[in-house]
Structure 1
Amino acid sequence: MSVFAKATASRSARAAWTGIAIAGVSALLLTACSTGGNPEPAESEEAADTGDALEIEAGERDLTLKVGTILPQSGTLAFLGPPEEAGVALAAQEINEADAGINVEVVYRDSGDTTTDIATVSVTDLLSQDVSAIVGAASSGVSLTVIDQITSAGVVHFSPANTSPDFTDYEDNGLYFRTAPSDLLQGEVLGNLIAEDGASTLGLLVLNDPYGTGLAGALKETFESAGGEVVAEELFNTGDSNFDSQLSAINAANPDAVAVITFDESKVVVPALVGSGYPGSQLYFVDGNLKDYSADFAPGLIADAKGTLPGPKLEDDFRERLLEVDPALTDFSYGPESYDALMLIAMAAYAANSVEGTDIGEYLQQVSGGSGDGEKVTSFADAAALLAEGQQVDYDGASGPITLNEKGDPTEATIGIYQYGDDNKYTRIN
């Protein structure tokens, strides 16, 4: 099974996510507009706009770039913190080892979740240290609580994992970017996957925040467009500890499949749902809860369950490099996207020959290949060598080609499909 998703965008319109094909071994290029509807074949990919490329000043650099992070060290997404921080640390290490005239300093802080005010405190601290950019948060809901604070200070806000569609048209002074695709794409992939697996009815257990409701909406639209019916849609709030009413409603509807759109709450709701008699094999997970449950669930509890996660198949070399930074890693979700976020920030600073956040923001789309006509690069050392000669670059990273549009969204992305084994660990199957 092959699932590939790509999107293109003009500088004058919102990006249109490309559809997916979940059949055979070939990848089909389809176009699906963000307002919904069935995908239609696309004849060709629209070329990037090269008319507004900014000039690159040739010459040596002598820059110190201070970057902060607000990644989850605590809260309902804490399992994503280690791979994300490892990705940032690895990028900083490789940028500094390039010895190209720019030195990166990283200040790591916690984002918490939406039940706390940790993110605001962390951002206030980071801004007081004159950071040029802040990487994070992982949670869309958390980022929405601090995006104004960050961007109004003239600092780049770059998330490796925000997937809520709300960010695409958010008024951010041109300073918000992300390496994770909008959930308009993940919802489309997951909805088609569930339909292709033979389900005609679907239950949804949904975190009531911008991430959960945005993903649920995209999933529901796709599944129903494929002829299915959502027979239960149960919401809960971050911090809730009792899910009896939601699980009872889902069991009463007796759907063919259940999509669990949660964060760490899955450790409570999944055993409860399966314990009530619902088959664990008919569950579908998402990026917010696709994780190793071998230490949390009884063996075989979710065997054959599936899930989706943005990002290409993790290369063995990159996995080993992350493990050198943090040997304790067991989950690697959004590690590549975090690595690429800092790489792009540093390349934009190098292109601008400036560590001012607003200057970095002006060059981020360009170094990603979203504007200009740059030469492909996959490392900071190669990018710096070209930029020092005044040449344009187009960075393809560990998470894929990226190619940011004028909204700060990546316009090329892959959604992986995973399946759980008897050990409650997941492996990629596409």
Structure 2
Amino acid sequence: MSVFGKSRPARSRGKVWTGVALTATSALLLSACASGEPESTEEAQGPREDLALTIGTALPQTGNLAFLGPPEEAGVAFAAQQVNDYAETSGLSLEVVFGDSGDTDNKAYETEIPRLLGENVSAIIGAASSGTSLQFIDQVVGAGVIQFSPANTSDAFTTYDDNGLYFRTAPSDVLQGEVLGNLIAEDGNQTLGLIVLNDSYGTGLAKYVTEAFEAAGGEVVAAPTYNTGDTTFDSQISEVLAADPDAIALITFEEVKTILPSLFGQFPADKLYFVDGNLSNFGDQFPAGSLTGAKGTLPGLSIDSISDFTGELDAFLAETGGEPLSEYSYAAESFDATVLLSLAALAANSTDSAAIAEKLIEVSGGSGDGTKCTSFAECADIILAGDVADYDGVSGPITFDEVGDPTEASIGIYQFGEDNTYAAYEG
């Protein structure tokens, strides 16, 4: 099942969000320097002359979201190949410098971000974790470089003072929290316990889950937190179980692998709820049937609905010697981020970060006067003809508002089977 949310562009940096998440529908109402000199592009037509764009990635090769790194990096690499396959026609080539964001415990970003900035990148794609992105956003945008995350969902970024240089293809957790809170209530649960990562992602998502669940008549009876880097969770588990909730929502990252064994046998699996930070195909990491019936939410179109893309991504990795993927979370959002940056550079006829940022809203459809297109090549042809392209991506229409948030988004609902892997929820 996929829950689709739409929103209207705001008129200021602040946003007001309202909405009611139902089983299948949710609505959101919400009240842009690297190398090169910016050039006037109003009259620019035809192929660009040797427009060489360089972007970096700060995605989790290590840390508590490392399971998201492979699909995200694969999405970037696949998009880069498509951009470069069309370079002879468009005149735009793309180089990607891959880097590790790590997390707020190992702090890989402290050395990786300066390294990436030293490569004169026009943009950095990452991090996946909102809390990690907040550790280096000032450094990136302060250098006049775009930061573009495929997976940041904290609402903190909506009003962040980012000099117009921060964008994301994932929706704010206002929507995911609304969908998950209502799902838990619709499943007949009257009380809820949460175990929450104490960072901007975890506490923000917990807030919106709580608000939705309580608005539906439920009560949150326990919500202990833990910090990145913690390795034992006995006190949090004991606190939640002592409250005897009908359901437990795990708002965590990979720490869930340590938490779950202590819940098995003490709490029914079909009353456990996961989120995007920990929804994973666990397979034989746990005994068969350990998670049967558990549910979770993940921003983006249903994995089933983008099977053509994931199949092409698998073929790309096989052809290029990449490791096969076991997860596809945020691969589409990473692919779209790369395509959008490339199209914006093409539209700006520049690799200057500020010039690209000025065009990102336009090429996403945010200006409202573009021609729909669904691939880099198709959109590039529109731009090269002197017209405005409106890219609808693999992850959805995207359509940035004036603060770089997508105004249209989907939340997929999934359920675990006997093999401890998840599939689209059919309920």
TM-score, structure 1 normalization: 0.92
Q: What is the CA–CA distance in structure 2 between the aligned matches of 1:56 and 1:374, rounded to whole Å? A: 16
Q: What is the distance in 2 between the residues matched to 1:28 and 1:237? A: 34
Q: Deviations over 1:370-391 (max 9, x none)?
A: 1140000101111111111210
Letter in 1 for 2:44: E
Q: Do 2:5 and 2:26's aligned partners in 1 also have CA atoms closer than 8 Å?
A: yes
Q: 1:113 to 1:124 in 2, by over 3 A?
A: same
Q: Indicate yes or no: 2:350 matched with 1:379.
A: no
Alpha-carbon distance between aligned partners in 2 of 1:114 and 1:393, rounded to the nearest angstrom: 38
Alpha-carbon shift at residue 16 of structure 1 (Å)? 4.8
**2:168 is matched with which residue?**
178
What's the counterpart of residue 326 of structure 1?
317
Whole-Å Cα distance in 2 between the matches of residues 29 and 143 of structure 1? 27
CA distance in 2, matches of 1:329, 1:21: 32
Q: Cα offset for 1:326?
A: 3.0
Residue 30 of structure 1 pairs with residue 27 of structure 2: yes
Size of the aligned set, in residue pairs, is 407
Structure-2 change in CA distance of 1:235 and 1:179 (3 Å): same
Partner of 1:427: 423
> What's 1:39 paired with?
none
Matched, 1:280 2:272: no
CA-based RMSD of the aligned residues comes to 1.6
Counterpart of 2:48 in structure 1 is 61
Q: SS at the partner of 2:57? A: strand
CA offsets per residue over residues 158-179 of structure 1, 9 Å max, x none? 0000000000010001000000
**Aligned pairs for 1:213-252 within 5 A:** 213-252=203-242
Asked if 2 retains the 8 angstrom alpha-carbon contact of 1:91 and 1:343, the reply is yes
Alpha-carbon spacing, 1:380–1:2, altered in 2? closer, same or farther (3 Å): closer
Aligned-partner SS, 1:317 = helix
d(CA) in 2 for partners of 1:325, 1:86: 9
Stretches of structure 1 lacking an aligned partner (at least 5 in a row) = 35-53
1:211 paired with 2:207, answer no
Q: Distance in 2 between matches of 1:336 and 1:351?
A: 22
Amino acid paired to 1:126: L
Distance 1:272 1:155 in 2: 44
Give yes or no for contact 1:8–1:15 (8 Å, CA) kept in 2: no
Match for residue 259 of structure 1? Answer: 249
User: What is the match of residue 414 of structure 1?
Assistant: 410
Alignment partners' CA distance in 1, 2:315 and 2:99: 21
Partner-residue secondary structure (3-state), 1:291: coil
Q: % of aligned pairs identical?
A: 57
Structure-2 separation of matches of 1:307 and 1:2: 12
The change in CA–CA distance for 1:91 and 1:31 in structure 2 (over 3 A counts) is closer
Matches of 1:116 and 1:129, distance apart in 2: 23
Residues 71, 224 of structure 1: alpha-carbon distance in 2 compared, 3 angstrom cutoff: same
- How far 1:22 moved relative to its partner? 3.0
- List structure 1 runs of 4+ shifted beyond 6 angstroms: none
- Which aligned pairs between 1:250-399 and structure 2 lie closer than 5 A? 250-275=240-265, 277-314=266-303, 315-327=306-318, 328-399=324-395
- Residue 260 of structure 2 aligns to a residue whose secondary structure is helix
Which amino acid counterpart does residue 354 of structure 2 have in structure 1?
T
* Residue of structure 1 in register with 2:79 after alignment: 91
What TM-score do the two structures reach when normalised by structure 2?
Answer: 0.92
- For 1:79, the equivalent position in structure 2 comes to 67
In structure 1, how many angstroms separate the alpha carbons of the residues matched to 2:29 and 2:211? 12
Assess if the C-alpha contact under 8 Å between 2:56 and 2:123 holds in 1. Answer: yes
Give the AA of the match of 1:426. Y
* Native 8 Å contact 1:293 1:424 kept in 2: yes
SS state of the match for residue 205, structure 1?
A: strand
Distance change (3 Å), C-alpha of 1:107 and 1:219: same
Asked if 1:157 is matched to 2:147, the reply is yes
Q: CA deviation at 1:20?
A: 5.3
**3-state DSSP class of the match of 1:114?**
coil
- 1:41 is aligned to none
C-alpha distance in 2 between matches for 1:421 and 1:12: 44
Q: Deviations over 1:143-196 (max 9, x none)?
A: 001101110111110000000000001000100000000001100000010000
1:325 partner letter: F
Contact persistence 2:252–2:277 (CA under 8 A): yes
Moved more, 90-99 or 202-211: 90-99
Q: Does structure 2 retain, via aligned residues, the 8 Å contact 1:76–1:265?
A: yes
Gap change, CA 1:116 and 1:29, over 3 Å in 2: closer
How far apart in 1 are the matches of 2:107 and 2:13? 35
* Residue pair 2:71, 2:331 contacting (<8 A) in 1 also: yes
Structure 2 unaligned regions, length at least 5: 32-40, 319-323
Q: Distance in 2 between matches of 1:148 and 1:250?
A: 37
Structure 2 counterpart of 1:167: 157
SS of the equivalent of 1:3 reads strand
User: Separation in 1 of the partners of 2:279 and 2:298?
Assistant: 7
CA distance in 2 between counterparts of 1:217 and 1:366 reads 33
Partner SS state of residue 161, structure 1: coil
C-alpha contact 2:284 2:419 (8 A) present in aligned 1: no
Contact 2:5 2:28 (C-alpha < 8 Å) held by counterparts: no
SS at structure 1 position matched to 2:351: coil
Residues 17 and 30, structure 2, Cα contact 8 Å, conserved in 1? yes
Q: CA deviation at 1:32?
A: 5.3
Contact in 2 for aligned 1:2/1:21 (Cα 8 Å): no
Query: What is the DSSP-based 3-state SS (H/G/I as helix, E as strand, rest coil) of the residue aligned with 1:4?
Result: strand
Quickly say closer, same or farther: Cα 1:2–1:243, change in 2 above 3 A. closer
The 8 Å contact of residues 4 and 27 in structure 2, kept in 1 or not, is answered as: no
